[in-house]
Structures are given as C-alpha cells and as structure tokens.
Amino acid sequence: MMKNHVIIGNGVAGIKAAETIRRNDSDCKITIVGDEVYPFYRRPQLPKLVSGKIEEERLWGKRSEFYEKNKITSLLGKKVTEIKSDENRVALADGATLDYDSLLIATGGAIKSRSYPGSELNGDVVALKTIDDAKNIKEKIRSAKSAVVVGEDFLTLSLIEALQSSGLEVTYLLPGDRLWPEIMDKDASYILELKLKQKGIKIHHQTDIKEILVKNRAVHGVISTADILIDCQILGSVDKLQPNIDFLIDSGVKTDNGILVNDTMLTSVDNIYAAGDVAQLLTDPIEASPKINVRWLKAWRQGQIAGANMTGKEIEYDDVACVSSTQVCGVDLISIGISNPLNGGYKIVRGEFPHPEIDVYKKLVLKDDVVVGALFVGNVLEAGEITKAIKNKKSYSEIDAALLKQMFDLSSRVSPFRGFLCPVCKLELPISQDAKVGDRITCPACGIELNVTEQMLG
C-alpha cells in the first residue's frame, strides 16, 4: 500500500526529509506545506540580497522543477492551523485538510517582536528572516541614511551586517554586556565588536529603546534607555527565535520550548516527527536541560534522520546536541556544546587566548576533565575534530596532543587538522590533507561549489 507522507515546512529540514523519503521509496506520496509562496531558498544569503551583493536568482536552493522531478506535491503559501493526530489529519487555514500516514513538523522559528512606546503608531519595525523581510528592508534603504538595531543573537548580527553593507550608518543597541551571550564570553564578543566598529558601526552596551519616534507613520528616530536621541529611518528589533508551535494545541504532541523529540526525531505521537529549529531533543547527556538546535546544518541532519525513519528505517541522531555556526563581518564562528557555562563546576582551557594582536579566539570547556564545549572565533580549523571529541565524551587527556598544540600554541605553523565554514549555509567542511589551492569542494548541504584557497589550507 502506498504511504502518504506530509511535511509541514519548506525549509532545509523539510526539503532534506523529502529528498530522503523519495530516495528510500520511489512510489510513496509526499506533500510539502509551506507558509511562504516561494520554493526552497538559502536563508543565510538574505543579508547579501539586502545589500545587493547577490541577485534574487542566486537565493534559490530548489526550483519548481525539483518538486516535479521528485513527485512532491508543494502547497506553498498555505498555513497549517491544526493537527488532528487521532485522525491522522492536518487542517489548513483555507479549510482544506490533508490525511497522512506519517507527518514531519519542520516549521522552524519566528522572530518574536518587541513592543516599545511608539511602535503602536505603525513605525514598521523590521527584522530579517524571510525573502519578504529582505525585500521590505531593501525598499526602505532607498530613502534611508541611518538605522538603529537592537538585539543580541545571530539574527541581530545578520541584520546589522545587511544594513551596514548597504551603505547605512548603523547604531547597535546591545541590551547586555556582550554579543550572543548564550554562547560567547566577553573576550570572544570583544573580537567581534572590534570588527563591527572597524566597519563604522556604533555600539551602545546595556542599552535598549525607551521610545520610538514616529512621524507620518514612519520611524524617524529613537530615544534610548540612556536618554540619547538617535536619528534613524530604519529600526530593526530582533528578539529570540521562537519555534512555530502555536498550531499544536490539542494535537497530543508534547512541547516545552520546542517540540520534544527523541533521538529518532520522533515526537510523543508515534507517527509524527519534528526536525530543525522547532525540535527540542529530550535529553542532553551532559546537562539535564534539553536543547533546541539552531542553524542550517542541524536542520539538514535532523531532516535527513526524520525522513529516513518515516520510511521505516531506524536511525538515531547522535550528533552533539547544540552546535551553532555562522559568520559575522567575514569572521567564522562556531560554538559547540556548552561554550559559555553560566554555572560553576567547569574548567576553561584557552591557551594563549585572548591575544591583543590576534583577532582569533579558541577555548575548550571541561567538566570533570571531559570536554563538553568549545568556541572558535576567527579560525575554525580544529572544530571538526573537537566536535568528534565532545560527541565521544573524550577527556582532555585523550585529545590528540598535536590538535591541542595547533589550537593553543600561537607559534605552531603545522595544520594537520583543517576545515572552514561554507559561506552560504555555514556547514563546517573538512579539507583533505592532499588538497591544494584551486581544488573544487562541493558543499553536501547546499550544493555550492568552492575553490580551495590558501587561507582554507591554514
């Protein structure tokens, strides 16, 4: 009997799951429901679309031909309002329903909007998460000279970079004392803040917005909590990414911060799976609290696992529970596991870092001598090997001495462990020992082809 698979979400997790399902079953029915009208596109490239560095044409990860070729029914521009798990049925906002044998929820996350005095006057505060967001910002830039952005994490930094690269004067209001405090300590943040300042971005620490000034339904400035008036024509406000799970009320699917899943990406309902930014692993072997996985690579791998298991496989997701990778102003950044512990009982190893003359920062986080986390800023050559060590719960003494020397000895010139971040999807790509300048590398996640450079070879 032909199986009927429904996937809610047309992002990287949903697409990878669909590809995996079709590879394992050439006859089943696959339906993808996406709330945007566009085919699958590469979200990490949105800042470059805003700044005009790329055209919209280069955003597309899959075109309509992909869905046709793989016999996937795509329902784009459709919103799911309810899951009736006892009936194996999904309800859409337009009144249509879809029956399923197995269901994947890959709805990703949405940026929670902040509310400030003045925002109710329709000042149109912006964020950057979708193509429509990018188009809206790009249009506003045409008549703008300056922008103010408030927020802390990677989505904030992406918006700042997009606005600055578009030629605007940017003021960054940082509510806390550092960038992305969930993963970065003050020393790591300092390196990235210097990069931002070198590009002319003004940073105000421990500062938020007191009031938005609106004239003729358009932003023309803000007053900060330090009572400073800052002129701007664009205001970006980025809060934490919140999983899209509102439609799961009365579905029987258990949630916490996100959708709770086991290592097979299965939810509390035996034929419903979840993957990507919306999924929250039930257990972390190091810390009791579950982790919500963020970024392209995690969604790609989880979608692959979920898709395989929807076709009857029994594959477990055994990667490190929390990995984030991105680039800020051209600086590679990877956080693995517990990179910035807020409680006691941890030991930090960081060799000669931070160094006043080097814009690179690396550290390991140990608990009872076991490596439980790491942070790489500016140079990620050893990140792949350290990820393996954390995954395998290695003690510090078990890590290759040559690897530690390469990480922490600034006089070391030997680079047997090499890797770099894909500039499109931020997947960490290893480089073989016999690679040479000019060789071609294809990213397995987004498909982009890259030339090996001297910088990649270390």
Residue 431 contacts residue 420 (beta carbons within 8 Å)? yes
Comparing 123 with 239, the larger pLDDT belongs to 239
Which band of pLDDT confidence, cut at 50, 70 and 90, is reported for residue 429? confident
399 CB neighbour count, 10 Å cutoff:
19
Give the DSSP H/E element, type plus range, for residue 73.
strand 72-76
pLDDT tens digits, one per residue of 396-409:
999 999 999 999 98
Nearby residues of 357 by Cβ (< 8 Å), 6 or more positions away: none
Question: What is the per-residue pLDDT for 270?
Answer: 96
Tell me the CB-side half-sphere exposure of residue 9, using CA atoms within 13 A: 28
Residue 183 contacts residue 375 (beta carbons within 8 Å)? yes
Distance of alpha carbon 15 from alpha carbon 12, whole angstroms? 5
**pLDDT at residue 287 is higher than 60:** no
Structure tokens at 434: 């016999």
Question: What is the per-residue pLDDT for 446?
Answer: 65
Structure tokens at 373: 């986390």
pLDDT tens digits, one per residue of 436-446:
888 888 776 66
Structure tokens at 363: 């550290």
Distance of alpha carbon 309 from alpha carbon 325, whole angstroms? 26
**pLDDT at residue 361 is higher than 70:** yes
Residue 267 contacts residue 254 (beta carbons within 8 Å)? yes
Whether the model clears a pTM of 0.85, i.e. scores above it, the answer is: yes
Question: What is the per-residue pLDDT for 380?
Answer: 87
The top-scoring range by mean pLDDT among 237-246, 264-273, 386-395 is 264-273
Average pLDDT over residues 288-313: 78
Comparing 228 with 430, the larger pLDDT belongs to 228
Question: What is the per-residue pLDDT for 288?
Answer: 35
Structure tokens at 188: 């790591």
Question: What is the per-residue pLDDT for 182?
Answer: 86
- Please state which of the ranges 282-286, 318-322, 327-331, 414-418 shows the lowest mean pLDDT: 282-286
Which band of pLDDT confidence, cut at 50, 70 and 90, is reported for residue 289? very low
Question: What is the per-residue pLDDT for 418?
Answer: 67
- Residue 351, phi-psi category: left (phi > 0), alpha (psi -120 to 50), beta (remainder): left
Structure tokens at 337: 């596991």
**Mean of pLDDT over the chain:** 90
Which band of pLDDT confidence, cut at 50, 70 and 90, is reported for residue 372? very high
- Please state which of the ranges 79-93, 114-128, 405-419 shows the lowest mean pLDDT: 405-419
Residue 280 contacts residue 248 (beta carbons within 8 Å)? no
Average pLDDT over residues 131-158: 94
Helix axes 401-408, 383-391, angle to 10 degrees: 130
Which band of pLDDT confidence, cut at 50, 70 and 90, is reported for residue 331? confident
Question: What is the per-residue pLDDT for 293?
Answer: 45
Average pLDDT over residues 327-355: 89
Residue 168 contacts residue 144 (beta carbons within 8 Å)? yes
Q: Is the peptide bond before 47 cis (omega within 30 degrees of 0)?
A: no
pLDDT tens digits, one per residue of 186-207:
999 999 999 999 999 999 999 9
Average pLDDT over residues 294-312: 89
Average pLDDT over residues 314-337: 85
Q: Would you give the DSSP letter of residue 252?
A: S
Which band of pLDDT confidence, cut at 50, 70 and 90, is reported for residue 290? very low
**pLDDT at residue 104 is higher than 50:** yes
**Pairing outcome for strands 272-274 and 323-328:** unpaired
Question: What is the per-residue pLDDT for 285?
Answer: 47
pLDDT tens digits, one per residue of 202-236:
999 999 999 999 988 899 999 999 999 999 999 99
**pLDDT at residue 75 is higher than 80:** yes
Question: What is the per-residue pLDDT for 447?
Answer: 63
Structural domains of the chain in order of their starting residue, each with its CATH number: 4-110+242-310 (3.50.50.60), 119-239 (3.50.50.60), 323-451 (3.30.390.30)
Question: What is the per-residue pLDDT for 381?
Answer: 85
